[in-house]
Amino acid sequence: MTTHCIGTVKGPGETPNEFTVIAPDPARQAKFGEFVYYVTDVDGDQRNILGRITGRRAVRLLPDSFMADPGVPPAQMAELLGYDSGANELFELTVTVLGYHSATFGDFINPRVPPSGGAPVYIAEDELLSAVLSKRKQGDGGSAHLGSLLSRPADAVPVALDVRGFTSTHLAIIASTGSGKSYLAGVLLEELMLPHNRAAVLVVDPHGEYATLQEMQNHSRFAQGNYKPVVRVFKPDDVRVRIDTLTLADLRYLLPNLSEKMQYQLGRAYSFAMRSFNDKFTIEQLKYAVRQVAEGARADDDDAISEDDPT
């Protein structure tokens, strides 16, 4: 995409991080979410200040009289009367400032100074967006390719995350129902398993949404040299947890409908089992502890084990 001026700065917006632009936009390039920029001087250097279009309203359109007859398209009426609708439509765009990209900080820096009125505003080139929106290039080690920018043609602006950025801390995928949260998580998992990443991943999948990841084991895209991902799926019946590895809070979570008295008795039985069996006990021994405290044994009595001890 070549440099293309779409409009002129009108003035500040409603917030300090916004400004407005007047644009004819005959080609309908100024879409919601589109990236634009203006050029300004920052500390003696010319910087491209990037922003996104977050609002659009018409300030001049076809005359209402051109729409009097529903059977005649307004554009046809304008043509018959020699009215150039493309040259007479004007829109006011609201642009939210992101800032200029700093290679040193690897992030956007807001200049905190609005653009001057009358400054030209340009559609951001694909090359510019590719350079600043992705910290990693697609296919590089440590990259996770998500797709391409929605407002541009497919693959024009690839978007890739830095794997270290979300695996070393936390990542939350927040969106409305049906918007593709699980799909995005699946894409990230696949990217982590590609040869240029070779990550080890543990997935807790209570809804069974990611079992199809097993298919990647036999897909040529995921193999390179001696590397091939191995995916193991553990069904609930395949998982065994030692009862003595659970805390009292874990047991109460697994038994959510206990009354306060029952929770109290469970706590006494848990303490009894921990002390009586040296922190190593089975489910039968925990049941035995429940019976003991119900019959009056003290939870802190190490000698309160009777002859019917299940061990």
pLDDT tens for 107-146 read: 899 988 889 999 999 999 999 999 898 888 888 999 999 9
Residue pLDDT, tens place only, 38-54: 999 988 889 999 999 99
β-strand partners of 60: 90
Looking at residue 92, what is its pLDDT?
A: 96
Pairing of strands 158-162, 143-148: antiparallel
- The residues, ordered by sequence, that sit 6+ positions from 155 with a Cβ below 8 Å of its Cβ are 148
Distance, in Å, from the CA atom of 29 to the CA atom of 31, rounded to the nearest integer, reads 6
User: If pLDDT is split at 50, 70 and 90, which confidence band does 224 have?
Assistant: very high
β-strand partners of 19: 12, 95
Distance, in Å, from the CA atom of 214 to the CA atom of 208, rounded to the nearest integer, reads 12
Structure tokens at 304: 């309160």
Residue pLDDT, tens place only, 50-77: 999 999 999 988 777 788 788 888 777 7
Strand residue runs (E) in 84-200 = 90-102, 107-109, 120-123, 143-148, 158-162
At which residue do the structure tokens 């206990």 appear?
258
Residue pLDDT, tens place only, 150-209: 989 999 999 999 999 889 888 899 999 999 999 999 999 999 999 999 999 999 998 888
User: pTM score, two decimals?
Assistant: 0.70
Looking at residue 127, what is its pLDDT?
A: 93
Angle between helices 260-276 and 283-294 (to 10 degrees): 120
Looking at residue 11, what is its pLDDT?
A: 94
User: If pLDDT is split at 50, 70 and 90, which confidence band does 106 have?
Assistant: confident
Distance, in Å, from the CA atom of 216 to the CA atom of 50, rounded to the nearest integer, reads 39
Candidates 7, 17, 9, 6; CA nearest to 98 is 17
Looking at residue 304, what is its pLDDT?
A: 42
